[in-house]
Amino acid sequence: MKKKTIDIITLGCSKNLVDSERLIRQLEELGYIVTHDSDNPQGEIAIINTCGFIGDAKEESINMILEFAQAKEEGRLKSLFVMGCLSERYLKELAAEIPQVTKFYGKFHWKELLQDLGGRHYKNLSFERTLTTPSHYAYLKISEGCDRKCSYCAIPLITGRHISR
């Protein structure tokens, strides 16, 4: 049986990159071939990990979703999944405006994504990941969220209260 290829596209901050690297590891354990190159998508399935914090990042995320939605519409892509901060904050709006997306997930629901792809979340792998950075560095995610409620900032709205890992 031919292994399915999945493209994971990561936009935004280094926390998103760590989440994507953990997801890549889980998908590899399920037998998928995973690529992490938005300039050269090769898979029949795409997962876009979005950013919804600042205007430019939101625009980049929406443009990437639309680009892959077009590929799906043209038959070059079988399934398109969207996760991350943008879909956490605007899930209903995005689902209504971009019906080509197979399913939207919030920032913390990628375990559901694994189930939808025919697998399960491996708790013993939850902190293991496949590094996508050059070999001389890697990001370390030590917390998530924020307890401050600054009027100009959407992070607490999107990611919730501060949680130390």
In tens, the pLDDT along 58-100 reads: 999 999 999 999 999 999 999 999 999 899 889 999 999 999 9
d(CA 40, CA 43): 9
pLDDT at 119: 75
DSSP-assigned states of every residue in 119-150: ----GGGTT-----S-TT------EE--S---
**The residue to which tokens 């792998």 are assigned:** 125
Write down the pTM of the prediction: 0.84
Query: What is the per-residue pLDDT across 7-40, written as a single tens digit (0 to 9) for each?
Result: 999 998 878 888 888 898 989 888 999 998 877 7
Domains annotated on the chain, with CATH: 5-127 (3.40.50.12160)
Query: What is the per-residue pLDDT across 95-115, written as a single tens digit (0 to 9) for each?
Result: 999 999 999 998 777 778 988
Q: Is the pLDDT of residue 123 over 70?
A: no
pLDDT at 69: 97
Retrieve residue 132's tokens.
């996508």
Nearest to 47 by CA among 115, 104, 111: 104
Whether 129 contacts 122, CB under 8 Å:
no
Q: Which of 48-57, 111-120, 121-130 has the lowest mean pLDDT?
A: 121-130
